[in-house]
Amino acid sequence: MDGDFSITVPSDETVLRISYMGFETMEVPVGSATHLAVRMRLAATELDGVVVTGFQTISQERSAGAFNIISGQNVAERAAQSGSIIGSLEGLTTGLSINHGGGEDMFLIRGTNSAHSNRQPLFVVDGVPMSAENVDLMVNEHDIHTFTVLKDATAASIWGAQAANGVIVITTRRGRYTDRRLQVAYHGTINVRGRPDFNYLNLMSSQQLIRAANQIFDPSVYSFNEVMTTNFGLPINSFPLIFPHEQPWYDFHNNAISAAERDRRLSALSSLDNRSQIKDLLMQPEFMTRHSLSVTGGGQNYAVHGSFMYEHYQGLLLTNRNRYAVNLRQDFNIAPWISLDLTTNLAMVNDNSALFPEHTNVNNLLPYMMLRDANGNNLSHAALRYHESIMFLAQERSRTNLDYVPLDELNRGFNQGSLLNTRINAGLTIRLVEGLNFEGRYQYLRSSGLHEEFRDAMSYRTRFERAQFATQDSTNPPVFHLL
């Protein structure tokens, strides 16, 4: 009961393996010693059948609340594919719903308990609350030991009102006794996703769009003069706009062209299809690679676990991101009655992307608006911004070219940013008397970021703003107003 034992060993090379429920297994070389004093270390979070609440570790039999425990290894396998630790919890536990569609709270544990309140659960990492964004940014999925999902009102008795929507408790790996030798592990993944197939969106082709427009469009109802002098049918502050497939109808209605010419121009538009150009010129294959290197080691009074992770992500709409994360967990047994743990995290994200054309939406671009002609010349989409007569008048008064060519915009600026997060988590445990411990924990978290967006003098936004603020005489009011 006091831990005393005597044993006969065959040689000095013998290694004693000592284990006990609730403690880390120790391997102790005998050598020439005739008396050994071995102090075992608690390993409550390494046990199956225990619940980690963030404040304490208790057996499942003593927990009165509803909970689920998820292995960190299961989450790491998913996170390496999806790029999100928290999002990878979907389907691994009952009662946890994850919304990937946006516009609503992403996580839901206990159901909706209010019409307008926040439904986000509380995330606790090594005993201290963190935001879901910082968990995904700062924590290496291969450093996670367990997730404990606390579902019912007993979580609120521990964490208070902030746990009204449930708690997700994350415990990370720590160093262990390895006789002062380091154990090294490497994990690497590469994921490639192709460009999307627009056929699955069931969008109208150019031929279908022209046919539908011919059936429903009546230039006598939406007269040319009315459209060009008011915002009829358009949002407030929009410029008078006539789409390219409507212009032949207006020209025919105003006796500017014949019916044959109208049909020829509409037929030419219906024969065009820009979907392959959108995929090839405005998109890139989605690509992600993650690499993680970790080391673990320790002796009788010191244990360490460290990791370095690198992630490169290439987004669909010409975006690129590099992420670096460093984690170092150290445990010190200062004396038999006092222990200290110190965790340091650094995470840095660098984004560097071309400026995507701001007035080009790949999901609803008119199917006949080509980006490049057969000779490789980039084409204008100014017709989708305003009528050519409006553009001509604005250019004449401002002495500024207001043509809008989406592919030219890609080379007229850049968008880059950096984010650095620093976290220090320290814990102190003092064993006062048998069965009574004092535990204190302190965390420091700091985030700093810098974002830079540059558009050169030839970019569309710069030219547009120059036209907006061009000096006008009293007889000619400005054509453009700030939108």
In this predicted model, what pLDDT tens digit does every residue of 15-64 receive, in sequence order?
A: 888 888 767 788 888 888 888 888 887 664 444 555 666 555 655 544 55
Which of 3-7, 259-263, 272-276, 363-367 shows the lowest mean pLDDT across its residues? 3-7
Q: What is the pLDDT of residue 292?
A: 95
| CA distance between the termini of the chain | 80
In this predicted model, what pLDDT tens digit does every residue of 74-131 receive, in sequence order?
A: 888 888 777 788 888 877 777 677 776 655 666 777 555 555 566 778 888 988 889 8
Q: What is the pLDDT of residue 482?
A: 38
Place 472 in a pLDDT band, splitting at 50, 70 and 90. Answer: low
Q: H-helix or E-strand containing 261?
A: helix 259-270
The hierarchical CATH code for the domain 51-172 is 2.170.130.10
Q: What is the pLDDT of residue 268?
A: 95
Look at residue 236 and tell me whether its pLDDT is greater than 60.
no
CA–chain centroid gap for 111, Å, is 24
Q: What is the pLDDT of residue 104?
A: 62
Contacts for 248 with CB less than 8 Å, ≥ 6 apart: 257, 261, 262, 265, 266
Distance between CA atoms of residues 254 and 269, nearest Å? 21
Which of 6-10, 81-85, 189-193, 285-289 shows the lowest mean pLDDT across its residues? 81-85
Which of 19-33, 228-242, 428-442 shows the lowest mean pLDDT across its residues? 228-242
In this predicted model, what pLDDT tens digit does every residue of 128-173 receive, in sequence order?
A: 889 888 999 999 999 998 888 887 766 777 777 777 778 888 999 9
In this predicted model, what pLDDT tens digit does every residue of 331-367 receive, in sequence order?
A: 999 998 999 999 999 999 999 988 899 899 988 899 9
Q: Is the pTM of this model over 0.85?
A: no
In this predicted model, what pLDDT tens digit does every residue of 391-412 receive, in sequence order?
A: 888 888 888 899 999 999 999 9
pLDDT, greater one: 446 or 67: 446
Neighbours of 481 (CB within 10 A): 9
Q: What is the pLDDT of residue 9?
A: 87
Query: CA dihedral defined by 105, 109, 110, 115, rounded to 10 degrees?
Result: 0
DSSP state of 5: -
- Say if strands 144-150 and 167-172 run parallel, antiparallel, or are unpaired: antiparallel
Neighbours of 368 (CB within 10 A): 21
Which of 126-135, 161-170, 455-464, 468-477 shows the lowest mean pLDDT across its residues? 468-477
Q: What is the pLDDT of residue 62?
A: 45
Q: What is the pLDDT of residue 442?
A: 94
Contacts for 268 with CB less than 8 Å, ≥ 6 apart: none
- Say if strands 122-125 and 167-172 run parallel, antiparallel, or are unpaired: parallel
- The residue-averaged pLDDT of 226-235 equals 64
Distance between CA atoms of residues 205 and 210, nearest Å? 9
Query: CA dihedral defined by 238, 243, 248, 249, rounded to 10 degrees?
Result: -70
Q: What is the pLDDT of residue 61?
A: 45
In this predicted model, what pLDDT tens digit does every residue of 274-324 receive, in sequence order?
A: 999 999 999 999 999 999 999 999 888 899 999 999 999 999 888 999 999
Distance between CA atoms of residues 404 and 390, nearest Å? 14
Which of 232-241, 367-376, 473-482 shows the lowest mean pLDDT across its residues? 473-482
Look at residue 452 and tell me whether its pLDDT is greater than 90.
yes
Q: What is the pLDDT of residue 46?
A: 45
Look at residue 474 and tell me whether its pLDDT is greater than 60.
no
Instruction: Indicate the domain borders of the chain.
Output: 1-40, 51-172, 183-192+283-354+414-454
Q: What is the pLDDT of residue 306?
A: 96
DSSP E strands in 276-315: the ranges are 286-298, 302-314
Q: What is the pLDDT of residue 161?
A: 74
Q: H-helix or E-strand containing 14?
A: none
To 5 degrees, how large is the angle CA 170–CA 185–CA 27? 85
